[in-house]
Structure 1
Amino acid sequence: MSLTPRLSGKIAARAHHSPATAAFFHRLAPFFATDQVVGGPLLVATVVALICTNSALAHAYEAFWDKELAISLGVMRTAHPLADWVNDALLPLFFLIIGAEVKREFTKGALSTVRTAAFPLAGAIGGIVVPIAVYLAFTYGTEAAHGWGTVITSDTAFALAIIGLFATRLPTSVRAVLLAFAAIDDVGGLLVIAVAYTDALHVAALIVAIMAYAAMFGALKLRLVSPIPYVLLGLIVWGGTYVSGIHATIAGVMLGLLSPTRSRLSEHRFADRVQEPIDRFQAAVEDARQADDGDADAEEAERRTQKQLGYLQEMTQATDEPAERLVQMLNPWVSYVVLPLFALSAVRIHFSADLLADAAGSLLGLGVFAGLAFGKPLGFLSATWLSVKLRVAELPEAVSWRMVLGVGALSGIGFTISLFIANLAFPDAQRTEMASLAVLVASLVSAGFGYVALRWAAVSIEQESGNA
């Protein structure tokens, strides 16, 4: 699920030289592969951030991310801390990928039927409602109750990395379920940010974003091929959403959902259209070989060769799915730049005996931990089970309830957006740190439980295959 066939082949070849090293890298590769969003660089950045914030470098490190970066054009000027630029300008790229991948699963993947699509939708609803209820059960009536949004989202990158450890042992539909659940879950979290943690809504800017989005939709319907209009309109959608007061990451999701999942040219039509240009290309190459270098015939043959190559290149690109091409282009940047920068700028937990005691004994810390580690899995599992029993949804092909248990456990990993919402919900550093520490502990517990559950599911598949 997380390794391309070529990368898997390279790892298999290494086993001939060093079996122990190959086995180690085979387990590590899903965390650092570049063909999908992975959690390895994010994990490394998190460790680096924790080390920096708990060392002598802490003051300079945090001052760097709080340093203001201004962009001005004439009389227009906007200035924000570096950490805010990462959240508002870079993090939407991550959600653009999630939106594009989810659309592909819903249109032509494992969730392409109404009832299979309803399965992660039900899980996402339960995974939002139940954690909030659990959190408020601890904090209702206190000032910490305002932070209920901290427990409603799951971290997609870390969860996908753990599922990637079972790349060859579990069906790809497991990843599709997690991806769809996480995307719907994150959209819910972003809507909560827009409603509960946004001070003011600028309607005019939002209308501009909606109009630009509609223009992109129209351009797709007209089959406009050039990427330039889409890039410009996408920037307007992002800018309008950002200025409106709604967090710009929701623009990333919406743009991802707009990306086409069907190629402009089918393989059958491609075969019909390129045979004649290939013949002309071969004739031009042969003419170039026979002509003398530098004369007019050679230049004309080279011109015809390049013309046919350009035609074949464009026709080949037309067989690609735009959504898949977009994801492949952004994946390395998101995995190795965007998410690590987010962790480096957002993780500011100063470990101390007082912080540990305060978090363990506070209703805030207990509420965040219980909401993520117990509320998220309970909400996901109960909602999906109920939806299947009521025949509203059905399990995707090859997915068992043991696998669903693993996905439910991984839903308690609430890192990226949870930390972001914690910073929005709590203006004082002490409560922000307590919430962040609780998120970190809950994420570690959920990751461990999810790994064990998925390993149990993978072993059961292997045993069934052996018995068969």
Structure 2
Amino acid sequence: MDTPNTAPPQDTADTGAGLTVIQTSPDPEHSTLAARGSTIAMRVRAMGRTRVGALLLLLATVAAIIWANTSPGSYSGFWESRVLIGIEDLRLEFTVHALVNDALMALFFFTVGLEVRREFAIGELTSWSRALVPVVAAAAGLAVPALLYVLITAGTGYSGAWGVVISTDTAFLIGALALIGPRAPGRLRVFLLALAVVDDIGALTIIAFVYTDEFMPAPLIIAALGLLGVYLTRYLRSGRGPVYGVLAVGVWLAFLASGVHPTLAGVAIALLIPVYRPERRDVEHALDLARTFRQSPSSEYARAAANSLRESISINERLQSAYAPYIAYVVLPLFALANAGVRLSTDILVAAWSSPITWGIIAGLVLGKLLGVAGATSLLRVLGVGDVGTGLTTGRLAGGGVLCGIGFTISLFIVNLAITDPDVQNQARVGVLAASVIAFVVAAVVFRISDIRHPAAEAGRILSRPVDSGRDHFWGPPEAPLTLVEYGDFQCGFCLKATGSVEEVHRILGDRLRYVWRHAPLTEYHPNALAAAEAAEAAGRQGQFFEFSRSLFADQEHQLPSDIVHRAEELGLDVERFESDLDTGETASRVRDDLLDAEAMGIIAVPTFFINGRRHTGPYDAQTLIRELERTAPVQR
């Protein structure tokens, strides 16, 4: 928190009225600053891709079931056909099924590893205090389902297949959340994504240590040398792509020879791929090359500008963007086609109905995930441990916990590793598919009930997160009886005009007023707004949040990286510390928290004011704000 400052922002504009957004076409140079907001843009694109990918996964599952039941001979014959790869005596032989599960799925686990690496480096799991709740919820979501499964299947000889119920299918989870999730699911989505990352780590660890049959340590020495090469490749000045490719193949082959499941090679490689937020100097260099190309168009300058822009983004995020469409549209649908072909004959369904394996899987995934995820989160909330986040009601946590019961991809994957009997495999697959359908339907019902109990209109009228003097940026006495909260955007023209109203309100009310600023950058219209908000947060870590904010409002047209650092120098900030703080996950998390609050309250235009905790609609000239502050003032006792 900044030291409370009784000096308000300078009067930089006349008062304005009307909650409207200025929609301008950004200058090409300003658009280039998307490097700073690339992660958010990538996540937005990923949401649309996830919906399509989940639909393809569903269609592939249905196609596999139809194929396996209408022509079982051709289904099994196709996937068991042999594939030879190599030349002369250097040959590898796979079934088509093994090629999908061992080779293509290594790419899937590679992208999972990239996401894990990113979240721990610059994402939601950078701060242990922020990561505590999803970590504990994920751990409980691994343990409780496994315990339920073991209890139900005790004495069957297949209780060791408890790994089938531990994992959540992230692709289906996020796709289902987009289809049936509650109103404004942003914070729930962030929570479930963080949980899914920890869930994946647990599942991958269990696959490595529990479901590896034959272990030969010698090839792992070669794998270790290859992984060392992967790590050192980051220091090459050029040609890194081919080197990464060759080393990745070598590491995969070494894992295959060792007996450790080769898909884990993808995770090991991904964890060594560098990830970082775009650096100011790299972005500035890309801008210079883009200007050069604009002044003197040529293929040479075009390549240089394109390469510079690409290099300003970490290879981790570039690989995620490059591979994600293939994983969503090719790899996972192929995996479903190869593994979801469950025979649904009367005999098989009768056997599944009476099978403790089937019911153990259903209970573990649906009930176990609900009890583990929602139960652990609720317990932490009662104990006051960790930060659950506003808007995550008990109903939403329950819906999210049930939705985690969609274990599809890794559950089917572990079925093949943990169970050898084809008949029992069919019973297990029926359980996985049934649990996924039940989880989807029950979660949809829970979310609808939650939305009915917490109507959108009411949620938008009340300030979702109360003002916290230990966290919020404010000026005025912390115990002031009147509170004015503004959600704004440093590039918004109307927010600029509103500073005049706020200054006048403070001049009249004095120490009776506590003014709070929260971020709601409209990046669709203002490409530099996110960078400006993060820069203000970095300045706030040196106690100059409002001073930096005034400088941003004073010149809204110049908010490129060099302009932002120049402002820090002018204000006498420690520039080295400022740039370091600007690149931390904690700074980005502060802005993201405000954005998620704004989404939960339906804020789509700025400035939006909350007066004494309730949303203000209508003009925001000084006299109107003062009148509403006085009218809604809490009764003093």
Normalising by structure 1, we get a TM-score of 0.81
Unaligned runs of 5+ in 2: 1-43, 463-637
Q: Which residue among 235, 242, 262 is the counterpart of 2:249?
A: 235
* Mapped pair 1:462 → 2:456: yes
In the other structure, the counterpart of 1:370 is: 363
Q: Secondary structure at the match of 2:357?
A: helix
Distance 2:385 2:236 in 1: 36
Shift of 1:162: 0.9
Q: Secondary structure at the match of 2:344?
A: coil
* Mapped pair 1:138 → 2:152: yes
After superposition, residues 3-22 of structure 1 pair within 5 angstroms as none
Q: Structure 1 residues 90, 318: closer, same or farther in 2, change over 3 A? A: same
* Mapped pair 1:49 → 2:64: yes
Q: Structure 1 residues 220, 373: closer, same or farther in 2, change over 3 A? A: same
Shift of 1:351: 1.0
Q: Bigger shift: 97-106 or 29-38?
A: 29-38
* Mapped pair 1:320 → 2:320: no
Distance 2:93 2:138 in 1: 36
Distance 1:84 1:422 in 2: 14
Q: Structure 1 residues 103, 449: closer, same or farther in 2, change over 3 A? A: farther
In the other structure, the counterpart of 1:421 is: 414
Shift of 1:416: 1.2
Q: Structure 1 residues 160, 75: closer, same or farther in 2, change over 3 A? A: same
Residues 40-59 of structure 1, C-alpha deviations (whole Å, 9 max, x = no match): 1110000001111111x221
- Give the helix-richer structure, 1 or 2: 1
Retained in 2: the 8 A contact 1:30–1:165?
no
Q: Secondary structure at the match of 1:54?
A: helix
Distance 2:391 2:114 in 1: 23
Q: Structure 1 residues 332, 461: closer, same or farther in 2, change over 3 A? A: farther
In the other structure, the counterpart of 1:121 is: 135
Question: Residue 417 of structure 1 aligns to which amino acid in structure 2?
Answer: I
Shift of 1:35: 6.8
Q: Which residue among 200, 203, 226 is the counterpart of 1:212?
A: 226
Q: Secondary structure at the match of 1:79?
A: strand
Q: Bigger shift: 345-354 or 190-199?
A: 190-199
* Mapped pair 1:412 → 2:405: yes
In the other structure, the counterpart of 1:61 is: 75
Distance 1:314 1:278 in 2: 11
In the other structure, the counterpart of 1:84 is: 98
Q: Secondary structure at the match of 1:394?
A: coil
Q: Structure 1 residues 135, 102: closer, same or farther in 2, change over 3 A? A: same
Shift of 1:413: 0.9
* Mapped pair 1:38 → 2:21: no
Distance 1:31 1:456 in 2: 28
Retained in 2: the 8 A contact 1:37–1:334?
no
Distance 1:141 1:31 in 2: 44
Question: Residue 338 of structure 1 aligns to which amino acid in structure 2?
Answer: V
Residues 419-452 of structure 1, C-alpha deviations (whole Å, 9 max, x = no match): 1222222222111111110111111111112233
Distance 1:333 1:48 in 2: 19
Shift of 1:168: 9.5
Distance 2:182 2:137 in 1: 25
* Mapped pair 1:395 → 2:379: no
What count of residue pairs does the alignment treat as equivalent? 418
* Mapped pair 1:343 → 2:336: yes
Distance 2:113 2:455 in 1: 31
Retained in 1: the 8 A contact 2:180–2:444?
no
Question: Residue 81 of structure 1 aligns to which amino acid in structure 2?
Answer: T
Normalising by structure 2, we get a TM-score of 0.61
Q: Which residue among 260, 264, 285 is the counterpart of 1:250?
A: 264
Q: Bigger shift: 420-429 or 168-177?
A: 168-177
Residues 75-115 of structure 1, C-alpha deviations (whole Å, 9 max, x = no match): 23221210111011011212222222233333333343212
In the other structure, the counterpart of 1:202 is: 216
Q: Structure 1 residues 167, 152: closer, same or farther in 2, change over 3 A? A: closer
Distance 1:314 1:267 in 2: 16
Retained in 2: the 8 A contact 1:66–1:82?
yes
In the other structure, the counterpart of 2:550 is: none
Which is greater in Rg? 2
Shift of 1:141: 2.3
Q: Secondary structure at the match of 2:64?
A: helix
In the other structure, the counterpart of 1:271 is: 284
Residues 114-145 of structure 1, C-alpha deviations (whole Å, 9 max, x = no match): 12222222122111211111111111122122
In the other structure, the counterpart of 1:157 is: 171
Q: Secondary structure at the match of 1:349?
A: coil
Q: Secondary structure at the match of 1:83?
A: helix
Q: Structure 1 residues 278, 186: closer, same or farther in 2, change over 3 A? A: closer
Distance 1:426 1:274 in 2: 56
Q: Secondary structure at the match of 2:53?
A: coil
Q: Structure 1 residues 234, 31: closer, same or farther in 2, change over 3 A? A: closer
Shift of 1:397: 6.2
Shift of 1:204: 1.6
In the other structure, the counterpart of 2:433 is: 440
Question: Residue 356 of structure 2 aligns to which amino acid in structure 1?
Answer: L
Shift of 1:278: 5.4
Shift of 1:283: 5.6
Shift of 1:344: 0.9
Shift of 1:329: 1.2
The two structures, once aligned, show a CA RMSD in angstroms of: 2.8
In the other structure, the counterpart of 1:75 is: 89
Q: Structure 1 residues 168, 125: closer, same or farther in 2, change over 3 A? A: closer
